[in-house]
Amino acid sequence: MRDTKQVPAFDLTVTRPDILGAEFLGEGTNFALFSDHATKVELCLFDDSGEHELHRLELPDMEGGVWFGYLPGIGPGQVYGYRVHGPYAPEQGHRFNPNKLLLDPYARELRGQIKWDDALHGYQVGEDDLTFDTRDSAAFMPKAVVVDAKFDWDTDRAIRTPWQSTMIYESHVKGLTQLHPGVPEADRGTFRGLGSDAVIEHLHRIGATAIELLPIHAFANDRFLVERGLSNYWGYSTLSFFAPHAPYLKSGQIREVKEAIRKLHKAGIEVILDVVYNHTAEGNELGQTMSFRGIDNASYYLLSPDNPRHGFDTTGTGNTLNVAHPVVLRMVMDSLRYWVEAMHVDGFRFDLASTLGREAQGFERDGSFFNAIRQDPILSSAKLIAEPWDIGEGGYQVGGYRWPFREWNDKFRDDTRAFWRRDPGLLPAMAERLSGSPVQFNHSHRPATSSVNFVAAHDGFTLWDTVSFNDKHNDANGEENRDGHDHNLSDNLGAEGATDDPGIIAARVRRVRAMLATVMLSQGVPMILAGDDLGNTQDGNNNAYCQDNAISWLEWDKAREDILTAVQALAAFRKDVPLSQSRFGASPDDAQDRQPAFLWLHPRGGTMEEGDWQDAELRCLGLHQATPGGPNLLIVINAGEDAEFALPEGEWTRRIDTSAEQVEQDHSVTGTLTVPWQTVMALVAAGTPQA
């Protein structure tokens, strides 16, 4: 047993400044922390509980702003934190306060939770932020833990599912598993539940090839939420970019994450992480001092050029991470590589990615962050998805990223919702969405899989709520229904919320199936929000970020089989055809080898004419698609009343009909096709080669 009374001594012959964080090297641990403006850095060692500080040791060396030291005999399980000395000069951007225990930005595992107290602030709460607080914050802080990286991955390798074969299921570790009857009760809400047979069986059933997880990096439950009896359910308040969120770990150990990923990989399912590198949990200058602010505020955060006392906030959270700084950029890159190489994740969805591309002159798609990823042989081969906006000036950048990034396409979401709501004049927009949004993405050699297509995501109404509510109902959030946006493009179809009216329920099911079919049958990469395949509701809450309860958890016992079987049939069809192409379609005259040929058809027969596109009341359209090496396809959408559609010459097999009780079809048709209201159909020409 390690002697905790003897003061450990640094070995200066072994210590290394090039390995940031706490790295166990076999017989001891190397500690290294970057702080360009510090005057002294103290390493604090705690007992196993993290409640008692045993030793406070000054890191013995510094090079290039990296403070470092090697401690023999210190290994996995050691709990630690830092105290950093330097100027407390807020008007110059410096907020050093050694009374505040600080979390290592490279911590791999955390022990304990934040206990909200005014002592966590570097200034005296109730006074302005120029004051200085002398209280010790250690009792209220989670601590870092030295870890052993060893893990038997067996034969686990990256799956690398091609983008044109990818279907994403956006999920929450807890929300997906908390009420699942097939997940052992003790494993619900954790990574063990995520890797359960029951979850994998469902992913296989709906054809998902990748699960995209809302933030799993350790995050803070914001104080204002805790004081209202709520919590940060979504997790967009990062505390550590390397450590997983402890409540998602049944044992508290990171090996649970690895075990879940290994099991999902064995089932052929990729794991994508929603990551938040644009801001942290520390808020603005009136926020807490828990890590970056106390380590080196002026290096880790973007500060106002006019008054460095204040942050430069493009995220709406109070602070913006300064990824233009080379060492901060390195931290983000190290984090990404860690999750790929050590944790075997397959890709990332970057929250508010436009912030990551902000340089001195504004957003730059060739900025240092994006270029660093594009040149990295490890990261450039992972799946990379941008949320292509932030709230800053010039932040909306849909279509503005370079390969290999894909992008969430909110234009697809909005146009699809409005079209199926029967808004007029949307056929030209829907032609764009069905063909992969080429106006946005067909440039700079980008593939036709650049658009991630969705009609609902974690932020906003669920798909079922889109057809059940005209207005948001966010009263449970405690903000008098002021939070959340009002641009829902929804339609309750006759009753606000739940109803027993069979006609309204049938209409809702039909519209949901039509919108899901639009996602699954369009060019690009389909993404379905977990629960939309079940008909899940959040009771009209379109901003459930703070609802860690039945509002957000999936109610598996209320799953709508008529929606679930539709998703299953659509996924099978998309895989069987195959529908998605890597190259954008062209008119038959312009199509080249290996490039699909697209032809837009009017219900009367023949191609759409210029005047047809201007017909605001036309709501039925056909896409005739000839795919190299695959069958000729016909996708027909009809958001209006029942319509007669003149088929191209020849025999066709109707494979998908979202208006039918059984969406999956196998019916031969010729001549004229009756397309019922609010319906999507997919047909395959007889005699064309099958994939």
Would you name the residues annotated as active-site residues?
351, 387
Pick from 414, 404, 412, 322: which is nearest to 368 by CA? 322
Q: Which residues on neighbouring strands pair with residue 41, listed in sequence order?
A: 84
C-alpha dist (Å) from residue 241 to 183, 206, 591: 28, 31, 46
CB 100 within 8 A of CB 289: yes
CA distance 168 to 214: 12
Cβ contacts of 183 within 8 Å, gap of 6 or more: 177, 193, 196, 198, 199
Instruction: Tell me the C-alpha distance between 281 and 291, whole Å.
Output: 9
Q: What are 598's strand-pairing partners?
A: 625
Q: Under 8 Å CB-to-CB from 347, ≥6 apart: which residues? A: 210, 270, 271, 272, 273, 382, 383, 384, 385
Q: Cα separations (Å) of 603 from 580, 619, 648? A: 24, 10, 10
Q: How many other C-beta atoms are found inside a 10 Å radius of the C-beta of residue 560?
A: 18
- 255/145 Cα distance (integer angstroms): 14
For residue 388, give the 3-state DSSP assignment: coil
- Please choose, from the candidates 33, 1, 27, the residue with its C-alpha nearest in 3D space to the C-alpha of residue 13: 27
Rg (CA), the chain: 27
Report H helices in 546-656.
Answer: 561-576, 610-613
- Give the Å distances, CA to CA, from 375 to 123, 337, 380, 545: 42, 13, 7, 35
Helix count (H) and strand count (E) of the chain? 16, 29
Position of tokens 């686990």? 156
> What does the DSSP 8-state code read for residue 628?
T
Give the span between the Cα atoms of 450 and 388, in whole angstroms. Answer: 12
Distance CA 632, CA 95 (A): 64
Hey, CA dihedral for 567, 213, 191, 237, is it positive or negative? negative
Give yes or no for a contact between 651 and 637, defined as CB atoms under 8 angstroms apart.
no
Q: How far apart are CA 355 and CA 332, in angstroms?
A: 13
The token duo for 175 is 């929300």
Residue of 32, 37, 4 lying closest to 18 (CA atoms): 32
Q: Which two tokens stand for residue 213?
A: 């997880």
- Spatial neighbors of 558 by CB under 8 A, at least 6 apart, are 534, 535, 536
Q: What's the rounded Cα separation, in Å, for the pair 163 and 450?
A: 9
Q: What angle do CA 229, 113, 244 make, to 5 degrees?
A: 110
What proportions of the chain, in percent to the nearest 5, are helix, strand and coil?
25, 20, 55
Residue 670: which residues within 8 A CB-CB, separation 6 or more? 647, 650, 651, 652
User: What token pair was written down for 69?
Assistant: 């030291």
Q: What's the gap between Cα 470 and its chain centre?
A: 26
Of 158, 117, 177, 150, the closest CA to residue 24 belongs to 150
β-bridge partners, 82: 43, 102
Phi, psi of 75 (to 5 degrees): -135, -165
Query: d(Cα 236, Cα 274) in Å, to the nearest integer?
Result: 9
